[in-house]
């Protein structure tokens, strides 16, 4: 390994009856015999990165004098007699010489014969391969080069030719311009082999283009053109910016296509010189602001916009694929009852996301106008993350209603989109019933929950530490009441001091208990209320984790107050499974706090949240904030 074997009176390296030899990074020169003489039964020989020149014998001699023999070449460089890496050829080979008595020889050579028409030599790379005995073919022989060597050549047009007494003929070698190789298989030697470049030229197919498209018949060298232009009037223009462009035989009609707002160049079917920098113009675009450029349906990160004038976009690209355009903004809209429905005359919040298409950020300071099919409209409010509008009175008629949002900001595309919302009929007659004031005794506030387990970790400068964190936070939007109920039903005077008759009552008889911030009610009309009504009355943001919407989200509470049945009321299932539920009711369609009532059935020995038992348990909203108090009044209707 890493040897210089030069000036021997015989062969440089001679192998016979020696198997599995690995010869790496050797220079073999100026020897009186062969550089490599690999004789019988030396199978498994692997020659890698050898530099061979000016040996009296040929560079390589292979002979099978016994059992089948496998030999590997990897980057064997056959150089000119000066060894200066001029006009050299590098080959790789995997060969199993199966037939007894077969011998091959390889050597650097030159060519003095006339080349085939319209062909030139690639760097004078010629190798002579002879079969001195036997008739086995060579399994695989690879001619390889590096990228720097092919500078100034058109490697897409490389071919492997052979020359012998019959003259020149092309081989069926396979060209790989990515690996920079020509590979011939099942090769019958006894020829000089050379890499030639096909310089045949023909006019490109470009009949589908017009306008200022290049007149290719006026180009003297179709393999070395400059500033090639293709244009389709009404759609766009493409101008390659470089020189040395090979357009000979290019099928532009099939592989360069313009459409409305896009151009597609299939570079795999064009010469590699055309997969290069160019200027693209696209005409008749519908955008009011500078559009975004897409490469293969993804935002192009290396496209440079030159101008956008008169609905024509000019931009620069470094390579080719499918380029298209799109709006530089995006608009999506939805409402708080998306994928659901809302009763008539119910407050509804509408939302718009008007965003920068390149990074998804909210476009601040835009004007977003919302229009409804009932003739009303408004201006949405920029919250910093989106645009909102609340239609306080909702829609007055049931059915599918349509609403539209149009957003506009200088420098961004004006966008408009429409959505619909399903409005259901509302029982505007309500449910007439009565509630009676109730006294409170033995009132006590339980100790407030404090989560006081604060985890900690010790670290030091330079550390990067990961951790999973868990906590429990006490709500500031909700409170609860629980307890027992005693009472009676009486026939009495105004002051309740002298009863005509008193009926005994116990919780087993049942009834309903309600609480409200309203301090005085008797006969009233109650409607089913939703979690969104709670959010409206108390000013909660519906998207908060503990909002009314996220708390009173279940429906199906059927509550009897006196003789009145109120059906399908929204409720919160509090405490133990199968225990008490709190149902939400209201006295007005559009609510304030005093219009809201929270009720539950009176249940003797019902299960509280803590496993104990009693007659009622209710959960109620409170004004958000520390040390902010809410006063609730209690009402009952006994069965």
Most confident of 376-385, 422-431, 433-442: 376-385
> Average pLDDT, stretch 357-383?
96
Q: What is the H or E stretch that residue 252 is in?
A: helix 252-255
> Average pLDDT, stretch 185-207?
91
The pLDDT value recorded for residue 439 is 87
Question: DSSP code of 328?
Answer: S
The pLDDT value recorded for residue 317 is 96
| Residues 523/608, Cβ–Cβ less than 8 Å | no
| Residues 308/315, Cβ–Cβ less than 8 Å | no
Q: What is the tens place of the pLDDT at every residue in 82-110? A: 999 999 999 999 989 988 889 999 999 99
Q: What is the tens place of the pLDDT at every residue in 540-553? A: 998 899 999 999 98
Cα dist. 319→36, 212, 278, 301, 322 in Å?
46, 22, 8, 12, 10
Nearest to 319 by CA among 297, 299, 298, 295: 295
The pLDDT value recorded for residue 454 is 82
Cα separation, 539 vs 2, in Å, equals 83
Most confident of 336-345, 374-383, 551-560: 374-383
> Average pLDDT, stretch 477-499?
90
Q: Which domains does the chain have, with CATH numbers?
A: 4-198 (no CATH), 216-326 (3.30.1610.10), 337-424 (2.60.40.10), 478-638 (no CATH)
Nearest to 403 by CA among 372, 378, 379, 377: 372
Cα separation, 574 vs 465, in Å, equals 39
The pLDDT value recorded for residue 343 is 83
Residue 206 has pLDDT above 70, yes or no: yes
Cα separation, 543 vs 281, in Å, equals 46
Share of the chain above pLDDT 70, in %: 99
> Average pLDDT, stretch 482-500?
89
pLDDT bucket at 347, cuts 50 / 70 / 90: confident
The pLDDT value recorded for residue 113 is 93
| Mean of per-residue pLDDT scores for the chain | 92
Q: What is the tens place of the pLDDT at every residue in 249-297? A: 899 999 999 999 999 999 989 999 999 999 999 999 999 999 999 999 9
The pLDDT value recorded for residue 495 is 81
| Residues 402/373, Cβ–Cβ less than 8 Å | yes
Residue 594 has pLDDT above 80, yes or no: yes
Cα separation, 116 vs 229, in Å, equals 33
Residue 402 has pLDDT above 90, yes or no: yes
Residue 597 has pLDDT above 70, yes or no: yes
> Average pLDDT, stretch 123-133?
95
pLDDT bucket at 433, cuts 50 / 70 / 90: confident
pLDDT bucket at 442, cuts 50 / 70 / 90: confident
pLDDT bucket at 375, cuts 50 / 70 / 90: very high
Cα separation, 316 vs 632, in Å, equals 70
Half-sphere exposure of 122 (CA within 13 A, CB side): 31
Residues 6+ apart with CB under 8 A from 439: none
Nearest to 453 by CA among 465, 466, 467, 469: 469
The pLDDT value recorded for residue 511 is 93
Backbone angles phi, psi at 150, to 5 degrees: -85, 0
Higher pLDDT, 497 or 303: 303
Backbone angles phi, psi at 543, to 5 degrees: -90, -5
Q: What is the tens place of the pLDDT at every residue in 211-230? A: 999 999 898 888 889 999 99
The pLDDT value recorded for residue 99 is 87
Cα separation, 159 vs 205, in Å, equals 24
pLDDT bucket at 428, cuts 50 / 70 / 90: low
Nearest to 282 by CA among 302, 301, 303: 303
Classify strands 596-601 and 381-382 as parallel, antiparallel or unpaired: unpaired
Residue 114 has pLDDT above 90, yes or no: yes
| Residues 325/281, Cβ–Cβ less than 8 Å | no
The pLDDT value recorded for residue 429 is 60
Residue 578 has pLDDT above 80, yes or no: yes
Cα separation, 54 vs 507, in Å, equals 116
Residue 2 has pLDDT above 70, yes or no: no
pLDDT bucket at 427, cuts 50 / 70 / 90: low
Q: What is the tens place of the pLDDT at every residue in 404-418? A: 999 999 999 999 999
């Amino acid at each position: 390994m890493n040897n210089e074997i030069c000036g021997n009176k015989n062969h440089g390296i001679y192998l016979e009856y020696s198997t599995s030899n690995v010869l790496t990074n050797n220079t073999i020169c100026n020897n009186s015999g062969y550089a490599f003489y690999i004789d019988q039964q030396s199978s498994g020989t692997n020659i890698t990165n050898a530099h061979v020149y000016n040996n009296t014998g040929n560079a390589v001699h292979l002979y099978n004098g016994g059992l089948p023999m496998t030999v590997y070449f990897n980057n064997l460089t056959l150089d000119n007699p000066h060894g200066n890496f001029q006009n050299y050829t590098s080959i790789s080979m995997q060969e199993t010489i199966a037939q007894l008595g077969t011998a091959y020889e390889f050597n650097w050579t030159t060519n003095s014969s006339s080349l085939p028409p319209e062909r030139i030599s690639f760097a004078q790379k010629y190798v002579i391969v002879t079969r001195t005995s036997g008739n086995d073919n060579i399994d695989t022989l690879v001619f390889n080069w590096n990228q720097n060597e092919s500078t100034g050549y058109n490697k897409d047009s490389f071919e492997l030719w052979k020359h012998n007494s019959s003259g020149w003929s092309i081989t069926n070698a396979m060209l790989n311009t990515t690996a920079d190789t020509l590979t011939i298989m099942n090769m019958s030697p006894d020829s000089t082999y050379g890499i030639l470049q096909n310089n045949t030229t023909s006019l490109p197919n470009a009949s589908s283009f017009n306008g200022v498209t290049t007149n290719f018949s006026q180009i003297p060298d179709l393999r070395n053109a400059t500033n090639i232009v293709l244009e389709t009037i009404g759609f766009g223009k493409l101008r390659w910016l470089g020189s040395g462009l090979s357009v000979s035989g290019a099928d532009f009609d099939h592989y360069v296509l313009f459409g409305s707002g896009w151009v597609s160049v299939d570079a795999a079917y064009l010469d590699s010189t055309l997969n290069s920098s160019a200027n693209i113009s696209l005409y008749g675009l519908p955008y009011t602001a500078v559009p975004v450029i897409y490469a293969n349906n993804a935002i192009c990160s290396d496209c440079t916009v030159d101008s956008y004038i008169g609905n024509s976009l000019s931009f620069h690209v470094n390579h080719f694929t499918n380029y298209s355009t799109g709006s530089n903004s995006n608009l999506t809209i939805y409402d708080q009852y998306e994928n659901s429905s809302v009763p008539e005359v119910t407050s509804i919040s509408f939302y718009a996301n008007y965003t920068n298409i390149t990074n998804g950020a909210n476009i601040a300071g835009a004007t977003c106008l919302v229009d409804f099919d009932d003739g009303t409209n408004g201006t949405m409010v920029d919250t910093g993350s989106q645009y909102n509008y609340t239609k306080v009175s909702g829609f007055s008629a049931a059915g599918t209603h349509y609403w539209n949002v149009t957003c506009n900001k200088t420098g961004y595309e004006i966008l408009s989109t429409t959505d619909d919302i399903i409005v259901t009929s509302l029982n505007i007659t309500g449910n007439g019933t009565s509630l009676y004031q109730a006294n409170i005794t033995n009132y006590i506030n339980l100790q407030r929950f404090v989560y006081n387990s604060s985890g900690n970790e010790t670290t030091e400068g330079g550390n990067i530490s990961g951790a999973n964190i868990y906590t429990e936070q006490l709500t500031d939007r909700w409170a609860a009441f629980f307890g027992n109920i005693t009472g009676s039903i009486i026939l009495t005077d105004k002051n309740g001091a002298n009863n005509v008759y008193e009926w005994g009552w116990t919780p087993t008889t049942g009834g309903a208990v309600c609480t409200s911030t309203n301090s005085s009610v008797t006969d009233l009309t109650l409607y089913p209320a939703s979690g969104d009504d709670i959010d409206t009355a108390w000013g909660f943001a519906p998207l908060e984790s503990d909002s009314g919407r996220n708390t009173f989200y279940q429906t199906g509470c059927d509550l009897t107050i006196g003789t009145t049945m109120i059906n399908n009321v929204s409720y919160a299932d509090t405490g133990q499974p199968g225990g008490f539920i709190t149902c939400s009711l209201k006295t007005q369609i559009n609510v304030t706090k005093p219009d809201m009532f929270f009720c539950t059935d009176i249940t003797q020995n019902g299960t509280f949240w803590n496993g104990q038992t009693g007659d009622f348990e209710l959960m109620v909203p409170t004004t958000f904030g520390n040390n902010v108090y809410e006063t609730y009044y209690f009402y009952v209707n006994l069965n």
